[in-house]
Amino acid sequence: MKRFDLNIEKILENWEVYHAIREIIANALDEQLLTKTKDVEIVKNKNSWIIRDFGRGLKYMHLTQNENQEKLSNTKVIGKFGIGLKDALATFNRGEVVVTAKSKHTQISIEKSPKQGFSDVLTLHAIINEPIDSNFTGTEFELQGVNDQEIQQAKNFFLIFSDEEILDTTKKGQIIKRSGNSGNIYINGVKVAEEENFLFSYNITTLSVSIKKALNRERTNVGRSAYTDSIKKILLSSTAKEVAEILANDLTNISKGTAHDELLWINVQEHAVKILNQLGRYLFITSSEGRQNPDMNDQARNSGHEIITIPENLKQKIQCSNDLSGNPITDLGQFIANYNDSFEFKFINPDALNKREQLIYQQTPDILNIFGGKPNKVNEIKISSTMRKDFFLKLGRLVAGMRIPTQLFYLARLWQQSQSILVH
């Protein structure tokens, strides 16, 4: 047996036992990731809880590290500091938890003993013993004196143990469906913050400089300023329809002042529109455009479009722009253009009209004479068996490019009772 002074100068006073359990779980998950071994086990054994990985096994030298270079060079692991284990052991001691760690290399427990050369100073020591089983696989921590609630609180820090649904995985991180009263912010699968007014939860897997600076020993209460830019990048990297639809549904809350915080970012709004436009039939209009053009709303719905109401400033951003596939975004102007381009007139020879229709058609010169005769720009008047309702223009409107008075438009509507008449 050997005594190893842990040399812990500052104990994390705000840590509870479940924070220490979190560190043991985090180390186990890191070892699983680094060694690509089977899943970590967290099981209850009578009055003890067992946390075990199946990696290379703990050595007493791990207690000397200030930083773990292997972890520092791997961007996907949880731990960064190498001193989390010592913090955990100190917290267990303060919480009167009996902890034993075993591997094929060693067996470690903790107790307070006089500091070497200073018999009147008690410090926390690791008690290093020879391994019980030299063929043991991985590292096993046995914790006596922890309750089920503390284990669950520790597991709640980890995305892997949550029931949260991942909506999209990008190169920058993951977008997660919000399941509770707040959005959770994870970094490499460990929760570091909560956001009451976020629409989603997020798992940041690409660490920026600001995040690395903000990740203190406690790894909790990381400020929003550290991860805002990372979350924007995750959202702007997403191409998932469900993510875009959830964002779009929240757009309507902007005018009410109840939208979630992600919708305050105009580039995120624009990106959501681009995803939806690429993946489905949508019409993006402002609330004022919708009120002024009710017939257009009906036509859009009848043609299979879903109407998404957007704020005025977003309208300016998407005007004349393309989606992620390079296709024009369907705002009001684009919808009108598509509507006009998709229509085809079917012209009819006047000789094919019945007597009543011919009688109406023969009134054409008299009607035109009321307003000074046929305009020079009009070459001829044709009859079409197909006519599309013009709901974009008011009275005194253009009919096939010609502005005509209300009276003539009214007569043209009468002609449509028989066969549609086109001024061409």
Range of the domain at 271: 241-341
**Cα–Cα distance, 95 to 143 (Å, whole number):** 11
Phi, psi of 115 (to 5 degrees): -70, 140
pLDDT for res 423: 43
Residues 334 and 351 in one domain: no
In DSSP terms, which residues pair with 142 in a beta bridge?
Answer: 50, 100
Number of domains observed in the structure of the chain: 4
Q: What is the per-residue pLDDT across 287-341, written as a single tens digit (0 to 9) for each?
A: 999 898 888 888 899 989 999 999 999 999 999 899 999 999 999 889 988 887 7
Name the DSSP class of 378: -
Name the DSSP class of 322: B
- Closest to 276 in 3D by CA, of 334, 325, 233: 325
**Cα–Cα distance, 224 to 222 (Å, whole number):** 7
Q: What is the per-residue pLDDT across 136-192, written as a single tens digit (0 to 9) for each?
A: 999 999 999 999 999 999 999 999 999 899 999 999 999 999 988 899 999 999 999
Single-letter code of the amino acid located at 304:
G
User: Which of 326, 341, 356 finishes a domain?
Assistant: 341
For residues 263 and 347, the model is more confident at: 263
Two tokens, residue 156: 């709640």
- Are the beta carbons of 209 and 232 closer than 8 angstroms? no
In DSSP terms, which residues pair with 248 in a beta bridge?
Answer: none
- The DSSP bridge pattern shows strands 306-309 and 282-285 to be parallel
Residues 11 and 153 in one domain: yes
- Closest to 46 in 3D by CA, of 154, 146, 149: 146
Two tokens, residue 399: 């009919």
Query: 368: pLDDT confidence band, cut at 50, 70 and 90?
Result: confident
Residues 134 and 33 in one domain: yes
Residues 53 and 147 in one domain: yes
Mean pLDDT over 246-264 rounds to 90
Residues 156/159/164/167 CA torsion (nearest 10 deg)? 160
Instruction: Tell if the pTM clears 0.85, that is, is over it.
Output: no
Q: What is the per-residue pLDDT across 62-100, written as a single tens digit (0 to 9) for each?
A: 887 655 566 656 667 765 544 578 889 999 999 999 999
pLDDT for res 417: 40
Residues 152 and 7 in one domain: yes
Mean pLDDT over 108-122 rounds to 85
Query: 404: pLDDT confidence band, cut at 50, 70 and 90?
Result: very low
pLDDT for res 348: 86
